[in-house]
Amino acid sequence: MAGSDSQPKKATPPRPAAKAPRKPLQVMHISRKTEEKIIDQGSSEKEISDQSKDKRFDENVLDQKETSQLNKAPSIPEESSDNFKTKTMEDVLRFENSSDHKNIQTFDDQHILDQKSRTVDEFDFDEDEFLAALEENQPIGTTGEIAKGSVIAIESDGIYVDIGGKAPGFMPKNECGLGVITNLKERFPKGLQVEVLVTREQNADGMVTVSCRALELRKSWEKVQNLAKEGKVVRVKINGFNRGGVTCDFEGLRGFIPRSQLEDGENHQSLVSKTLNTAFIEVNPETRKLVLSEKKAAIASRFSELEIGQLIEGKILTIKPYGFFVDLKGVSGLLHHSMVTNGSIRSLREVFQTGELIKALITDLDPSRGRIGLNTALLEGPPGELITDKAKVMEEADERAVKARNSLNKEKVDPQKEEKGIN
């Protein structure tokens, strides 16, 4: 007994539970079974739960979808598990053939449409109509352009003007004119024809910004420039002062008169609300600079009394190497050495002296530059008469001035006739 107890006992394998489900180990014995057992195995698989069956079916469908995408084959529509099992190879081939037929038919239809479509070169092209279409669609209203239109609507902040574009132009209230406008409806009734200046081009809606004030200011600058070129004297009203001078308004523009250009510059504060005669010193629309002078106005008014061919009397102020400066009652004229006498002279002092009164003809007049050109040689009879008999020439200056004026007028007319003959 002792020897039998020393021998190890064989381990007894655990018994399977009575109702334990079959384990999938049977799959490992498929290769060892005969065909009959394979059939039995197929019948045993039918006993698998619906949950495992659906899971395997889903895996098979997913594998088939991935394979179809790689092979670019038409996808098979999802069906129930029973219908999928009943599908045969013939049904699958029939489905593929029908899909290919549909693709071929779609390609043929598209090909027919492409053949029916016409190319650009086959269409009739009219250059005149093309240019006309461009002109119709060309945007209206570029910055700085003057446009005409009619008032179509009035708002509290401005008015709308129809200038012919796809959208009306808008004019803000502060751009409706110079000064303050209290009632827009009275100033701009509907249908009123107005002329405006485009200050901003079209926005995304096709609307432009216009201004009556900017157009009036442009016209004012143009008018002032012409007056300055002509040397005109204008009357302005003083409306303010500062340390350097006084301010004024002229044609809607703000002007400035320095104290040095005032007749009474020491008491310039007292000139407020008074009206003065002034002339232009500087006119610059780009910098909006308008400078005037009261003293220059006296000279300009004197220029308005003078004309070419007029005989005037003045006093020799100074003698320069190039001629004499003559005082003509507030303005000075230049008697150039080439206009003194037709004879030859060694020195200007041989003819006239400083402080001497002389008579001379005006042959050049430039109010904008303040220049007056004088001539005494036209009063001579024989050349050099002023050197030999100056008193006689001065006594007969009035009579000789008439003949000299006629010769001046003839010189003006002859060049005009020559130009006409050439034309």
The CATH code of domain 305-410 reads 2.40.50.140
φ/ψ of residue 307, rounded to 5: -155, 160
**Residue 375: per-residue pLDDT:** 92
**Residue 347: per-residue pLDDT:** 87
SS3 content of the chain, % helix, strand, coil (to 5): 40, 25, 35
Note whether 180 and 231 are within 8 A (CB): no
Q: Using CA atoms, how far apart are residues 62 and 338, in angstroms rounded to an integer?
A: 116
Of the given ranges (109-123, 323-337, 373-387), which has the lowest mean pLDDT?
Answer: 109-123
Report which secondary-structure segment, H or E, holds 182: none
330-341 confidence digits (pLDDT tens): 788 999 999 998
Q: Which residues pair with 327 in a beta bridge?
A: 315, 332
Q: Using CA atoms, how far apart are residues 61 and 80, in angstroms rounded to an integer?
A: 11
Hey, how many other C-beta atoms are within 10 angstroms of the C-beta on 168? 21
**Residue 302: per-residue pLDDT:** 81
**Residue 55: per-residue pLDDT:** 53
pTM: 0.48
Q: Using CA atoms, how far apart are residues 179 and 157, in angstroms rounded to an integer?
A: 16
113 HSE (CA, 13 A, CB side): 6
Quick one: tokens of 42?
């197929």
Q: Using CA atoms, how far apart are residues 343 and 382, in angstroms rounded to an integer?
A: 9
Q: Is the pLDDT of residue 389 over 60?
A: yes
**Residue 184: per-residue pLDDT:** 84
CATH superfamily for domain 136-214? Nucleic acid-binding proteins (2.40.50.140)
Quick one: tokens of 238?
């003083």
| Residue 292's pLDDT band (cuts 50, 70, 90) | very high
**Residue 274: per-residue pLDDT:** 92
Q: Is the pLDDT of residue 205 over 80?
A: no
31-90 confidence digits (pLDDT tens): 444 555 555 555 555 554 555 545 555 555 555 555 545 444 444 444 444 444 455 555
Hey, how many other C-beta atoms are within 10 angstroms of the C-beta on 105? 10
Section 360-386 average pLDDT: 87
Best-predicted range by mean pLDDT (80-84, 195-199, 300-304, 403-407): 195-199
125-178 confidence digits (pLDDT tens): 566 665 665 455 555 567 778 888 899 988 888 899 988 767 788 989 888 887
User: Looking at per-residue confidence, does 224 or 181 come out higher?
Assistant: 224
CATH superfamily for domain 231-300? Nucleic acid-binding proteins (2.40.50.140)
Note whether 373 and 322 are within 8 A (CB): no
Section 183-197 average pLDDT: 88
Share of the chain above pLDDT 70, in %: 62
Where does CATH 2.40.50.140 sit in the chain? 136-214, 231-300, 305-410
| Residue 27's pLDDT band (cuts 50, 70, 90) | very low
